[in-house]
Amino acid sequence: MKDFSALEKKLDIKFKNKDLLIQAFVHRSFLNENPDFHLFHNERLEFLGDAVLELIVTEELYKNYPQKLEGELTNWRAALVNAKMLANIAQKIELNNFILLSKGEIKEKGKARQYILADAFEALTGAIYLDRGYKVCREFIKKYLMEELPKILKECLFRDDKSRFQEQAQEKVGITPNYRVLKEHGPDHAKQFVIGVFLDKELIASGKGSSKQEAEEQAAKNALETKNW
């Protein structure tokens, strides 16, 4: 078993329930090869962590930038909580050393590993929230994620296709785009998603990806081309 006490020391967060910390790093594929492992995979913690992360980032932006409008803050938040950013932070704090994967998944590189890292960061956020509460969780997010905001603003990294399409749609037709899963297929550890972007009830374009976020980004890119915006 990996030495999770080393991670506690690195993060300066001592867990009361060590199993909660370990569970944040249990990938579904690991359980396929180790069905008798005493913990469940990390997807429920990831689900919780995603919501906690968004709340904390939203609260920090709301408090620290009182003059900024909702649309701008939404774009900044999207740049902070996207999979690429979370994977980069996870690499910086070396979460990769703690993820429990199947032998086959260990060999995966590129985007597949990026999403595993991002998911682990979200699951860890959920575990910190459950074990140590909102205050400790907020300090963790401020320390490792919010410090990236100056770079995002300096390099305009918040202007992704999804943000651009939302800006254009609100400006030109007064509608906020919404995204819906049209199709998903493949095994749990290698799912493929097809997501449509709609203006009201009208399907404008669709996109494919190995995560919902990636498919939404592709759908937004295609929608910009379709609308010639």
**pLDDT 10s per residue in the chain (229 long)?**
789 999 999 999 999 999 999 999 999 999 989 999 999 999 999 999 999 999 999 999 999 999 999 888 988 998 899 888 999 999 999 999 999 998 877 776 666 788 899 999 999 999 999 999 999 999 999 999 999 999 988 887 777 788 889 988 998 999 999 999 999 988 877 789 999 999 999 999 999 988 888 899 899 999 999 998 8
Q: Do 167 and 116 belong together in one domain?
A: no
Dig out the tokens for 229 from the structure. 């915006």
Q: What is the pTM of this model?
A: 0.72
Q: Do 26 and 116 belong together in one domain?
A: yes
3 is catalytic: no
Q: Do 82 and 177 belong together in one domain?
A: no
* Candidates 50, 60, 161, 216; catalytic one: 50
* Candidates 46, 119, 122, 131; catalytic one: 122
What are 206's strand-pairing partners?
A: 196
Angle subtended at Cα 190 by Cα 189 and Cα 195, rounded to the nearest 5 degrees:
120
Q: Do 169 and 100 belong together in one domain?
A: no
Structurally, the chain folds into a number of domains equal to: 2
Tell me the residue ranges of DSSP E strands in the chain. 178-185, 192-199, 202-209
What are 203's strand-pairing partners?
A: 198
Q: Do 118 and 15 belong together in one domain?
A: yes
Provide the domain limits for residue 213.
161-227
Q: Do 18 and 128 belong together in one domain?
A: yes
Q: Do 96 and 62 belong together in one domain?
A: yes
54 is catalytic: no
Q: Do 121 and 40 belong together in one domain?
A: yes
Residue at 219: amino acid letter = A
Q: Do 21 and 129 belong together in one domain?
A: yes
